[in-house]
Chain A
Amino acid sequence: MTDHVEDIEGAAPAAPSPSSGSGLDLIGLTKVFPGGTVAVDDVNLHVEHGEYVVLLGPSGCGKTTTLRMIGGHEFPSEGDIVLDGQSLVDLPPHKRPTTTVFQHFALFPHRSVLANVEFGLKMHGVGKEERRQRAFEALDMVGLTPLADRKPRALSGGQQQRVALARVLVTKPKALLLDEPLGDLDRLLQLRMRVELRNLQRQLGLMFIHVTHNQEEALSMADRIVVMNEARIQQVADPLTIATRPATELVARFMGDNNIIRGTVTEREGDRLVVEDEQQVRASVRAPEARQSVGDPAMISVRAAAVIVDPNGATASDLNTAECEIVFVEFLGDLVKLHLLTGGERMLAKVGAEAYPALRGREGERIRISWKEEDVQLLDA
């Protein structure tokens, strides 16, 4: 468990602490579309320079609309967007110090790679010589100098992606906005571009705001993840917290592989609550913020990876444990997913591959699982 924690921290250090006046602020940002659809509802967020923030959520959650408002491609119905003390709301896209990497790359098909990259500088009136030099620097950065004379259609997906990156980086924006930047790439390339993109961002020390619906992508790349659902922010936290301490049921469900237990508070001692569900599964949780008292409904989650499976033994206590029926043993190479049923509730446990020989073919048998109190998270409804 512990090295798992370190791994995630190593991949994405905690966000820099906010300082006043510098960075990007979204203040009460709201977008209502003409039909009355509320796409973004009262979004408040501060992003520091040099921070990699991922807006994560299912499609239609408002993450892309939020990004488009920052870039100036949608106008907010209410609220403000402030970058380094300057409000951007009334500026058209071409006057904003932000640039966007659009979904599907949006390269100019009739221009060469070099001309694509030069475009922003040309629009800003940079002279031909300097333009060329800076464009080649940007192409060098993404390793595409040898293909400068190609047309975009003669490039592979990964190369087009890198042209799109070079094209925006060359204008030296204060904030880079990325709309599903890896969505068009095949899976292997996606994995590689995650690393490349994140390294590039570290080198440049630039603010990146990245929109995706892919949980893994968010966890592996972000300094901070903003989980959105139905136009609202659900939780803003570093990847480790999002993965291990989901704040709401929606976050717990969207991130996947969380066991959610709905029940009633049966005991409360200070910040320690005991929640019991209809199957008499009892779990204890420490939640200083909890408002519930005995008799109130409560919802908790336990990560599948935090579930401890003892194929043979039984636990003495009846707290933080459950007797289950094995529905399916799913072997995934270096881990095993156990699909379980306790009473009528489905549960999921993820254990290391070394447990597979002992679990293989035991569908239909009963097994006891348990978890630690510190791995239990109280959810907001």
Chain B
Amino acid sequence: MSSSSTPDHLDEDAARLALEEVEEAEAVLAQRPQKAEAALGEGAGSGRSSGWVTAALAAPGLLWIGFYLIAPLVIIVLVSFWTFTDSGFERTWTLENYSELFNDSTYWDNMISTFVTSLIAVVACLVLGFPVAYFLALKVESLRIQIALFIIALAPFWTSFLTRAIAWTFPLMGREGALNQVLIKLGIIAEPIPEFGFSTLSVRLAMIQLYILFMITPLFFSLAQVDRHAIEAARDLGGNWWRTFREVILPQTMPGIVIGSIFIFVLTMGDYGTVATVGGGNITSVGTLIYSKIGAVQYPQGAASAVLLVIVLMVGVWVITRFSNLREEL
């Protein structure tokens, strides 16, 4: 019965023998990313024969995007350069629609006020939505309760958009509405303020309520991916709550913030339903302006307004994506 019969001893020998092997393996591991990239590069350059297969596989998706996204956009761009006539438009190239639009202060005033509304909605949804997502993702321990609470948060979205939008007219913001009642009960105002209804304020509040879930959802999924042990590690290494949040949680949540912000920004910039319903005709936005131009059969002008809006949206989305490297983080 020699000493070598104990498992401990076995391991020490094995450890020594394994040492070189492990080091080799680690070296290989360390090199893998570069090699993988090189392999990908080669594949893209030389894979001529497999190109057709790739194209065939991509075709349905391309067709779909082409038909539903590219084609309508191209048509709108084309129409925006055509000439307006009383009966619609004729296919004569013109820059008239754009030059008219650039000198149209109503359009730009609406662009600015819509942008302000949009900005307020993005910030408010972020500030109000973050604690909800944070609580759901990091404070609720059980997955079942997490899902249950998330479904409850979704509950308002089971009702139709119109129902929720109408709630922001008389029931909530009207003369006899909830907001006036509450303010009177609290003694903040003596008489109901009739101006709450069908106002910019009610449109902005409605937008926050109507769209906040588009912020909470990506935030929730981002926060749920944050390693709880990494948060504990940050606390353990001397970070108080705020610094842990600032240095560890927030940076890892950036993809969710960016995606949520893009949702809210795009949805509110182009919104005309909420503005029309909650604003009741008193309030206009870029969306309602385009809508009324189409209604007045001014297709080229409407198309040009839409093209400018798309450009503003693209610039806005580009600016938002600067806050996080989505390609790397997702």
List residues of chain A with CB under 8 Å of any chain B CB.
Answer: 1, 3-4, 6-8, 11, 71-73, 92-94, 98-100, 102-104, 106-111, 119-120, 122-124, 147, 154-156, 158-159, 167-168, 171, 188-189, 191-192, 194-195, 216, 219-220, 305, 308, 334-335, 350-353
Contact = CB atoms under 8 A, between A and B. Distances in A.
Q: Describe B's contact surface by its main secondary structure.
A: helix
Interface in B1-34: 1-12, 14-15, 18-19, 21-22, 25-26, 29-30, 33
3 shortest interchain CB distances as A-B pairs: A106-B229, A123-B238, A120-B237
19 contacts: A3-B3, A4-B3, A4-B6, A7-B6, A7-B8, A93-B235, A94-B240, A108-B230, A108-B234, A123-B237, A167-B237, A188-B15, A188-B21, A189-B22, A195-B15, A216-B11, A308-B1, A334-B4, A335-B4
Given A7-B6, A191-B15, 16 more contacts: A3-B3, A4-B1, A4-B6, A7-B8, A94-B236, A100-B232, A102-B232, A108-B230, A110-B329, A123-B247, A124-B238, A156-B30, A159-B30, A188-B15, A188-B22, A352-B4
A335 B232 CA distance: 44
B3 A7 contact: yes
A296 B2 CA distance: 37
Given A108-B230, A154-B33, A99 B236 contact: yes
A120 to B, nearest CB: 4
B19 A351 contact: no
Nearest to A164: B233
A123 B239 contact: yes
Interface residues of B, number: 41
Nearest to A99: B236
Contacts, number: 141
B138 interface: no
A90 to B, nearest CB: 15
A171 B239 CA distance: 12
B188 to A, nearest CB: 40
Contacts of B252: 109-110
Contacts of B33: 154
Nearest to B250: A110
B18 A216 contact: no
B18 A188 contact: yes
Contacts of A219: 8
B35 interface: no
Contacts of B2: 3-4, 352
B9 A7 contact: yes
B235 A92 contact: yes
Given A73-B232, A123-B243, A352-B2, A11 B18 contact: no
A351 B5 contact: yes
Contact of A352 (B1, B11, B238): B1
A4 B2 CA distance: 7
B167 interface: no
B10 A93 contact: no
Contacts of B18: 188, 191-192
